[in-house]
Amino acid sequence: MIVIKFGGTSVEDAAAIDRSCYIVGERLSRRPFVIVSALGGATNGLLEAGSYAARGELGKAMTIADRLEYRHAELLPSIAEHFVRLRELLKALAAIGEFSPRTQDLIASYGEVLSSLIVVDRMKRLGLDAVHVDARQCVVTDDRFGRASPILDLTTSRLVEAARPHLDAGRLVVMGGYIGSTLSGTTTTLGRGGSDYSAAIAGAALNADEIQIWTDVDGMMTADPRIVPGAWKVKEISFDEASELAYFGAKVLHPLTVLPAVEKNIPVYILNSKNPKGTGTRITREARPCRNLIKSIACKRGITIVTVSSSRMLMAHGFLRALFEVFDRHHTSVDMVATSEVSVSLTLDDVSSLQPILEELKQLGDVEVSSKTALICLVGNNLKYTPGVARRAFGSIADINILMVSHGASNINFSFLVDEKDATAAIQKLHADFFREVDSEVFEPAV
């Protein structure tokens, strides 16, 4: 049995949905469990409509709802009843004047609910025996709206109960990704990109042979092809390397996706629904050895550096604990840390709580903030114990200023920060050096 997940671009219109249905039809003998994202751009539209309504701009909200209804109803006319409820919700938001995280999840959930119903209908019209399973009845989460965490034991039992009889009977099962509900039945979401996570959760629960993530690229690349047109496709990569790349900016894969798959040692494939004959990228627990020093270069832009300086750090204990407790209280994660005897620098990509964080940090010392920086991450096996990694990397970009470095904390990651305006040039120079020659067992030309 396999799990097949289609991203928004793979179900964005009738032609894309037909391509995806064809892909599933080619794999019927493998008993597919299908997970779909919202139609491309639908989630953004839904949240935009909610924001307008909460600000009292109900006319703009309804215009967006009309546009979304037209797009969805073209694919499945009976979907119109869902938009009746959506409009009532928008009117309620306009009356209340508040768009809480809980209501944001409810609004956003319409995307996956509608797309999964549309895909099931299309499969049936094409002669496939498909059934719909509501993710809100299967994926049980906590109540951390906007980025809820699944309660895995309950989710596993519900998924098995809902899907196994249909799979055993030879039917296709289709479920919307990204969404779930609390034990009390309140709708939640797993965070943006969470449909990948839904696929991994389902794969682990149902003991899948593999998980296929279908998107609009041929797989994981040695660099973003928009920056490096000659980037190579990575044929095989380890779970750890893929997770590191995803966390540090590679948009192909949601960082959490690999976790349930790693625990069950289920291989994950990244495939292109517009090129269904392609081999994609295979992600496994242990990837084959590679003659190249690194597998890929990732970049995360919009990074903010916060530096706290205080003489109280000198030969003192407890300072770092107090520092990190500030970020813990504001539920803000830190990417990179560098310390000296009297200062600590750390990086953030989520600055939604920056101002209250800074107010608390000022009680610990002098605070300096630098924005518009980019974190560049080189990922490869055993970098920590390979001599010359830093020398080669910095030699490639000798004319670019390095703001901060992290090396040694991870065996597979060498990271540093540059000014955002230097990021593109840095990536191009690094790629030209590290991938001057490539291992044909691990890399191949992109289509």
Dump strand ranges (E) for 285-400: 296-309, 337-339, 343-348, 366-379
CB atoms within 10 A of CB 96: 12
Query: pLDDT value at position 255?
Result: 66
Summarised one tens digit per residue, pLDDT across range 374-404 is: 999 999 888 888 888 889 999 999 999 999 9
Instruction: Decide: 369 and 305 in contact? Cβ < 8 Å.
Output: yes
Q: Which stretches in the chain have pLDDT values below 50?
A: none
Query: pLDDT value at position 314?
Result: 58
Query: pLDDT value at position 97?
Result: 94
CB atoms within 10 A of CB 119: 29
Phi and psi at residue 305, in whole multiples of 5°?
Answer: -100, 125
Summarised one tens digit per residue, pLDDT across range 434-447 is: 999 999 999 998 87
What is the distance between the alpha carbons of residues 419 and 358, in angstroms, rounded to a whole number?
Answer: 22
Amino acid at 121: D
DSSP 25-55: HTTGGG-EEEEE-PSTTHHHHHHHHHHHHHT
Query: pLDDT value at position 252?
Result: 77
Q: In terms of C-beta distances under 8 Å and separation of at least 24 residues, what long-range contacts does 99-103 make, across chains too? A: 99/50, 99/51, 99/53, 99/54, 100/145, 101/145, 101/146, 102/145, 102/186, 103/50
Query: pLDDT value at position 131?
Result: 97
CB atoms within 10 A of CB 335: 19
What is the distance between the alpha carbons of residues 23 and 34, in angstroms, rounded to a whole number?
Answer: 11
What domains lie within the chain, and their CATH numbers?
Answer: 2-216 (3.40.1160.10), 296-445 (3.30.2130.10)
Query: pLDDT value at position 192?
Result: 67
